[in-house]
Structure formats: structure tokens, C-alpha cells
Amino acid sequence: MQNEFLGAMQSGAEQYLKGLNELSEKFMGSNAASGQGPSWSEGMEQFAKLYAGGNSHEGVFDQIMSQGKGFVAMLEKMYQAGAQTADGKTGGSIDFAALGQQMLSELTKNNPFSQIPGLQIPGFQMPGLSAGMNFPGMSSANFTMPQFPSFDAKTFSVENFLNMPAFGSNRESQERKTNLIKHLGSYMQAMQAYQALQMKSIQMAVARMQGKLEERSEPGRGLDSMKAVYDLWIDALEESFAEVALTADYQSAYGQVVDAQMRVRANVQKQIELATGEIGMPTRSELEGVHQKLAEVRRSMRTELAALKAEIAELKSARAGVSKAASTAATAPKVAAAKTATPVSKIAKTAPTSLLNAAKALAAKSPAVNKIAKPAAKAAATKPSTPARKK
Amino acid sequence: MTPFKITPEKVLSEALKFNEKLAAGLKTLGQLDDVQYGCTEKEAVYKEDKLVLYRFKSEHKVTVKTPLLISYALVNRPYMVDLQADRSIVRNLQAMGHEVYLIDWGYPDRSDRYLTLDDYINGYLSRCVDVVAKLHKMTAINLLGICQGGVFSLCYTALNPNKIKNLITMVTPVDFHTPDNMLSHWTRAMDVDLFVDTLGNVPADLMNQCYLSLKPYRLNAQKYVGLVDILDNKAELENFLRMEKWIFDSPDQAGEAFRQFIKDFYHANKFVTGGLEIDGQNVRLKDIKVPVLNIFAEQDHLVPPSASRPLQGLIGSKDYTQLAFTGGHIGIYVSGRAQREVPPAISKWLKARDA
């Protein structure tokens, strides 16, 4: 049995290698693979040379290669599991639970949860952080990262140490550093709780997959390709993830990990801000102050501009009324005109004060509205305090 | 009975076929230029800050009197409605006689961090409505709001009932607290004040990662394994790349508007519970009396149908129509089915109300 299995494995490896070589010949004009050959997924590496790169699709290329390798690794495991059966021809005795664990490890190599989803914030890792916090020649307390002192673990826990009050001339600085360490600790704890839930969902997926395979054992519903097995596995993963992701535990873990990371980030930003401030660099807070004022000015300007435009429109409308009346007066008998035409001074007397003030201002500035605004403003100057219509 | 109808030889053969497709396709991938998007010629009719209001130039006769303004979400780029010639809601609507305008909100930078929902709704959106109305010498126009843009459109219409003739909401969340809304479920435990105070603007990459993590295995793994099947098909590969580009071409979110949006909608669900205020003005969906067409996608994992359906019971309009589309949040704009079903449904509904 052992010999049969090894024979089948060797045969499979040779055939795969031969196939890869043929593909290399066909697509690359070279025979890249040699010897006993790498694992199936490693053998795919040679195809990377086919992608010339340099265009904007490198992200897609990386994803295809990394996920494709996971898929091919799964094929290899399945081949091995199949070859291990008594007759070496059918996959009838494949133990999916065991295989599932192998597949799981392949898939989780590229598991999107290897880091916290949604929180891969560019710059957060800040590789240059410690360097940035230790500018040469700078000896300020703000430029040194917090150091753990040596302590006797029997007497002091880290928690005890972090809860010790800071004092002395470096009190503020020490407190900030202690806080940063506390926040980092909380973040790691929150992260562990979060990842435990991810693992729970993956374990649930393995059980769910068993159920799906049982369903597929019914006549006419068998799986005839490894792609179909893979798709079923993804279904199991997604369904289990959704089940976990909608629980109160997950909601709480998600919130805690996001909040914990924000506290770390805020703390680091604060340290950087203090450090850069000390060497006279403009800080983010300063810039945000400017941005806030800018937003307020922009908002206020928009409001005033809109009001001004409305007033201009009102004035234009009033001018149109005067022109129309004047035109009527020109064509009608003088006596009639005297009865119907509305003098500019009368418009001014009945117009709102804000309008008249605007007219006055505009009369001085805008030639376009000068004709109507000037007489109106003049009339406004002599406007009685009591509204004209009450007279 | 075993579920596997697979022999080791078959597995080996599948592995080699997979490699063959990969080898053939990677060469194609390396030779493809950057994909282009947007197929309909357009002109800017209004600009303000980073916002541009576009009018799409039509080769067809405009037969519908009232112009249609599309208000897209802030979280993605609006060219999704005009992605390519055979996947364009805009082009299809034009062919049916509509004049179409689109708001491009632009990419906010740090200087836009203090933009509020009031700035977006009573400012930018309001001025765009006014510009379109003025261009057509009309007092009220048709408004199509998509996703978050739909939320803005609902607020705007409630506050300005006389400026909108007909309102269409597409994949728009209204009830943010339905039990199947995963995004809302996660968001509710977050301290959004700490989040925005720390980040300022919310980075687009973070938003994208969050969306991808709603279906982590399908969107981060299976999608790319499946892609190998079409790698040797240049046209299909270009379609894929265009979508991929759109998915990851996202603007950062203005911090204050994001804070308000999360608090008012995701946390407090104010469309349903009431008390929503934009710049001191009370926003009540009951004040929406104009005809409303509500379109949602049955398989939407970002805005589940359960979040959109409650609109009917919350607005004051007696003329309410609902269209449930078989597809997902993105398929509703770009799938072949969407092109066949969505624009004709919108057009028919609008034409019946164009008097």
C-alpha cells in the first residue's frame, strides 16, 4: 500500500512537471522546470515571467497569483488524498475533515483576516516611526520611545507598572508613553478577541462543508471538478462568516478593535505632533484649524453671495417694473400716465430697508444696476421712518 | 455514496488546465493598457470647489420635458452609471429621450475635512438642482439618487418639495437597523467621534477594505481564482479590469460629513426614528409628496432590500412605485439584465409623470 501510494505520488509529480514544461515551451519558449520539481503551486512561479508588468494591473496579477496558488495547492492535496486510497483511482475514501484542515491552512495563508479587515490604513504601520521619533541630535523627551524598565515579575505585573503614577519633570511625557503602551496592550487584546471569532467562523465552515458534501452525495448531485469543490468551500466559509459577523459578540469585538486601534493611532499622532512642533514644523492640528476656518468662511461667503444675488434679482425685477410703467406712460396720455406710473421714489419708500441698503451699496459699485439702484438709494436716504402706505 | 466524482487523474488534468489558462492569460494581462471608462460625451455646466456638474451630450432627440439629475454616493466614483458603451444607464436613458445630468463630487482632500451634510445637501446638491432647473427654465426637475446619493436626495426633496418633480431612489438605505444589514451592525459599536477625530478624513482604502470584508472569501479569493477562466478573453478581461478599477478608485470621505452620516443614519436611524436635522432644519420623509420610484437589488449585501423597502411607509407621497431588481449592489448598474430592465423601467415611470 505504501509503495503504491509513493508510486502514485511520484507519477503525479512527474506528470505535473511534464505538463508545466510543456506549457513553458508553449508560452515562454523555454523549459523552465527541471529535476524532481517543486510543489504544484511553487511550479506556477515560472508563469510570473509571462506577465510583463509595468502597467496598472499589477494588483490584479498579484491577487491572481496568490489566490491561484492557494487553489492549485488545494488540487495537489486532493490529488495526494486521492492517490492515497486503496486503488489509487477514486477519491471515494477521502477524509474531508482532514483535507479540510489542509485546505484551510492553504486558504488562510491568504486569509483576508490575517490582518484586521477594514483597518489596513496606509501609513499606520509607520515603519519610520521610531526613526522619526529619534531625530539625530534631539534629546527631548518627546523624541524617545517608551522603554520598559526591568522589574521582578513576581512583584510587579506590567499592569501594575503601567498604573504607577508618573512624577517629576518628565511627568507629562512619561504619562503619554505609559498611555501609549496601555493602548497598544488593549489593541492586542481586542485583536485577539476579534481573530478568535474569525477562527470560530472557519471552524464552523469545516462542519458546514461536511453537511454540504453529504447533500452532494445524493445521486446526480456529485462534484465532478475541484473547482466545484472549491466553490462549495467558499460558500461554506461565507455562510459561516455571515452567521458569526451578525452576532452581538462580533459587533462588540469589531467596535473594540476599531476603537483600540484609533486610540493607538491618536496617541502616536500626538507624540509626532509634539515632536514636530518642537522643531518648528507646522502641525496637523494647526492645519486643521486653518481648514476649519476656511470651511466657515466658505460657508458664510456662499450664504452672503446667495443673499446678494437674491437682492440683485429683486432689484432687477423692480427695474423691469419701472421700465414697463415708463413705457406705458410714454404711449398713454400724460394725465393717465401720471395716475398709473410708479415713481422710483415711491418704490423706494415701500421697499424693505435691507433692499434699500443693498441698493445704496450697489449704486456705488455696480454700473449694471446703477440706473435703478441710484435713484432708489437716493430716495432711501429721505425715507420717512413711518411706512409710506400708512401715511 | 461519495460526493466526489473526481479521480486523481482528473485533478491532475484540472491543475494543468488551470496553469494553461493562467499562462495564456497572464501574457494578455501584461499587454493590456490601462482601461478606459465613460462612453458618453459630456460637458461641465457648473463647477464649485471640487464638484463638477456634467451634462451628457445626447445623440438622440430629447423627448422628455423634465431633465434628470443623478446624485451618486460620495464613497465611489459616479462613472459607474456610464461605465462603457454596453453598460451605461446614462446612454440607455438618452436613447429613450431623457436629458441626463450627473454630479461628480470629486476627491475631497484634507482641506475638505469640515464639509458637513448641510454643505453637501443644502449647498452642493441644492445648487446643482438650481443650475439644471435654470438651464431648462423650469422650477422643478427629476432627481435620481443612488445609494448614499439617494439618502441625500431624500433629505433634499423633503426640505425642498417644490424643486423636485419626480424622485427616484436606487439601492438607497432608509431603515439602517434591519437585522441583515451587516455594515450597519458593525458600525453601530464604533466610536465614530474617536474615529473621525483621529483620522480626519476617512481614507478610501479603509472604506474599501471594510466593504470587501463583508464577503471576505468571495471578494478576496474566489473572484481571482474564477478570473483565470476568462483571462484569455480580452474583452471580458477588460470588463473585469474596468470594474476592478472602479471598485478601488474611491475618494476619501470628508470627516465631518462622515461623522454626521454615521451618527444620524447608522447609529440613530433617524429616517425611521425621527429627529433628523440638517443645519437646524427638520427633515421629515413625510414631507415628500412627489411621485417616488424606489429601486433596490434583491441580492444587495451593502444595502439589503430590507433597508430600502420601508421607504413606502415613511414618505407622504401617494404615488409610490417599487422595483425589486434581481442582482447585487453593483450588478444593478452594469449587468446585462440591468441594462435591459432598469433604464426602461425608469424611463417609462418618468414619461408617465412628465406632464
Query: Do B53 and B106 touch, CB atoms closer than 8 A?
Result: no
Per-residue pLDDT, A109: 54
Phi/psi of residue B276, each to 5°? -75, 130
Q: State yes or no: pLDDT of B322 exceeds 80.
A: yes
Instruction: For residue B320, list its beta bridge partners.
Output: B292
Best A21, A256, A291 member to test B by mutation, with max B CBs in 10 Å, is A291
Residue B82 has pLDDT above 90, yes or no: yes
Average the pLDDT over A147-154 and give the result. 52
Using one digit for the tens of pLDDT, what is the confidence trace for A155-171? 556 677 777 777 777 78
List A residues 337-376 in contact with B (Cβ-Cβ < 8 A): none
Q: Which one-letter DSSP state was computed for residue A127? A: T
pLDDT tens-digit series, residues A210-249: 899 888 888 888 888 888 988 998 999 999 999 999 999 9
Nearby residues of B312 by Cβ (< 8 Å), 6 or more positions away: B294, B320, B322
**pLDDT, position A94:** 54
Give the confidence band of A267 by pLDDT, cuts at 50, 70, 90: very high
Task: Using CA atoms of A194, A196, A202, A203 in order, give the dihedral in degrees to the nearest 10.
Answer: -150
Q: pLDDT band for position A330 (50/70/90)?
A: confident
What are the residues facing B281 on neighbouring strands?
A: B278
Higher-confidence residue of B205 and B33: namely: B205
* pLDDT at res. B348: 98
Question: Average pLDDT of A8-25?
Answer: 65
Residue of A48, A78, A93 with shortest CB distance to B11: A78
Shortest Cα–Cα distance, B6 to chain A (Å): 5
- Per residue in A48-90, pLDDT tens? 666 666 567 777 878 887 788 778 777 777 777 666 654 444 4
Residue B155 a catalytic site member: no
Q: Which amino acid is at A25?
A: E
Q: Are B99 and B64 in contact (CB under 8 A)?
A: yes
Collect all residues of chain B within an 8 Å Cβ-Cβ radius of residue A230.
Answer: 222, 225
Nearest residue on chain B to A81, judged by CA atoms? B8
Average pLDDT, chain A: 70
| pLDDT, tens digit, 9 for 90 and up, residues A29-48 | 555 554 455 677 776 776 66
Contacts of A258 in chain B (CB under 8 A): 190-191, 195
A110 and chain B: CB distance < 8 Å anywhere? Answer: yes
Contact B220 A258 (CB under 8 A): no
* pLDDT mean over B207-228: 91
> In the predicted model, is pLDDT for residue B293 greater than 60?
yes
Smallest CA-to-CA distance from B222 within A25, A19, A238 is with A238
* Alpha carbon of A138: minimum distance to chain B alpha carbons (Å): 27
Could you tell me which residues are beta bridge partners of residue B346? none
Q: Average pLDDT of B53-62?
A: 96
Q: Which of A16, A45, A47 to mutate to test the interface with B (most CBs of B within 10 A)?
A: A47
ipTM: 0.92
What is the model's pLDDT at position B38?
86
Mean pLDDT of A248-275: 94
Please give the pLDDT value at position A238: 95
Candidates B160, B26, B154, B50; CA nearest to B106 is B50
Cα angle A310-A311-A315, degrees, rounded to a multiple of 5: 120
State residue B233's pLDDT score.
Answer: 86
Chain B residue with the nearest C-alpha to that of A64:
B224
User: Which A residues, 56 through 85, put their C-beta within 8 Å of a C-beta on chain B?
Assistant: 56-57, 59-61, 63-64, 66-68, 70-72, 75-76, 78-79, 82-83
Tell me what pLDDT residue A162 has: 72
> Which of B39, B128, B147, B210 is labelled catalytic?
B147
Is A68's CB within 8 Å of B113's CB? no
Q: How far lies B328's CA from each of A93, A245, B70, B217, B298, in Å?
A: 39, 20, 20, 17, 7
3-class SS of residue A291: helix
B229-286 per-position pLDDT tens digit: 888 888 888 899 999 889 999 999 999 999 999 999 999 999 999 999 999 999 999 9
- Looking at per-residue pLDDT, the higher value among B145 and B21 belongs to B145
- Out of B15, B32, B241, closest to residue A40 by CB: B15
Which of A112-116, B8-12, B344-348 tops mean pLDDT?
Answer: B344-348
The per-residue pLDDT of chain B, averaged, comes to: 94
Cα B47 from chain centre = 21
User: pLDDT band at residue B152, thresholds of 50, 70 and 90?
Assistant: very high
A378: pLDDT confidence band, cut at 50, 70 and 90? low
Cα-based distances in Å from B265 to B36, B124, B155, B269, B292: 35, 20, 12, 4, 21
- Residues in chain B with CB shorter than 8 Å from the CB of A92 are 2, 4
Q: Which grid coordinates are listed for B320?
A: 409610490
* Grid cell at residue B83: 461605465
pLDDT tens digit sequence for A184-201: 999 999 999 999 999 999
- Touching check for A303 and chain B: CB below 8 Å? no
Give, for B71, the enclosing helix (H) or strand (E): strand B68-71
Contact flag A8-B8 (C-beta cutoff 8 Å): yes
pLDDT at A4: 54
Q: Which of A345-359, B73-87, B158-172 has the lowest mean pLDDT?
A: A345-359
| pLDDT at position A363 over 60 | no
Residues of chain A with Cβ-Cβ distance to B304 below 8 Å are: none
**Distance from A84 to chain B by nearest Cα, in Å?**
10
pLDDT score, position A2: 45
Q: Which of B24, B123, B179 sits opposite A27 (nearest CB)?
A: B24
Residue A225: alpha-carbon gap to chain centroid:
37
| The pLDDT value given to residue A116 | 39
Nearest to A47 among B2, B14, B23 (CB): B23
**Higher-scoring residue by pLDDT: B100, A388:** B100
Distance in Å, alpha carbon of B35 to nearest chain A alpha carbon? 9
At residue B305, does pLDDT exceed 50? yes
Q: Smallest Cβ distance to A217: which of B1, B15, B248?
A: B1
Question: Which residues on chain A are in Cβ contact (under 8 Å) with B8?
Answer: 8, 12, 79, 82-83, 88-89, 91
User: What's residue A28's pLDDT?
Assistant: 59
The predicted model scores a pTM of 0.79
What does the H/E/C string look like for A203-269? Answer: HHHHHHHHHHHHHCCCCCCCECCHHHHHHHHHHHHHHHHHHHHCCHHHHHHHHHHHHHHHHHHHHHH
Q: Are strands B51-56 and B68-71 parallel, antiparallel or unpaired?
A: unpaired
Helix (H) or strand (E) holding B278: strand B277-278
For residue A145, what pLDDT is reported? 43
Nearest CB partner across the interface for A251, out of B29, B185, B199: B185
- B123 and A302 in contact by Cβ < 8 A? yes
Longest dimension (CA), chain B: 73
The 3-state secondary structure of B138-207 reads CCCEEEEEECHHHHHHHHHHHHCCCCEEEEEEECCCCCCCCCCCHHHHHHCCCCHHHHHHHHCCECHHHH
Q: How many CA atoms lie within 13 A of A151 on its CB side?
A: 13
Shortest distance between the Cα of B180 and any Cα of chain A, in A, equals: 7
Locate the chain B residue with the closest alpha carbon to A254.
B186
- Residue B165 backbone phi and psi in degrees, to 5: -85, -50
Average pLDDT on A109-128 reads 40
Show residues of chain A in contact with B245, CB under 8 Å: 56
Rounded Cα distance between B259 and B277, Å, is 14
Are B182 and A245 a contacting pair at CB < 8 A? yes
**d(Cα B18, Cα A71) in Å, to the nearest integer?**
9
Q: Tell me how far apart the alpha carbons of residues A385 and A389 are, in angstroms, rounded to a whole number.
A: 12
A44, closest residue in chain B (CA to CA): B19
Mean pLDDT of B186-211: 95
Q: Which residue among A47, A82, A254 sits closest to B22, beta carbon to beta carbon?
A: A47
- Nearest CA distance, B176 vs chain A (angstrom): 14
CA separation (Å) from B165 to A274, B122, B161?
54, 18, 8
Amino acid at A9: M
The fraction of chain B above a pLDDT of 70, given in percent, is 100
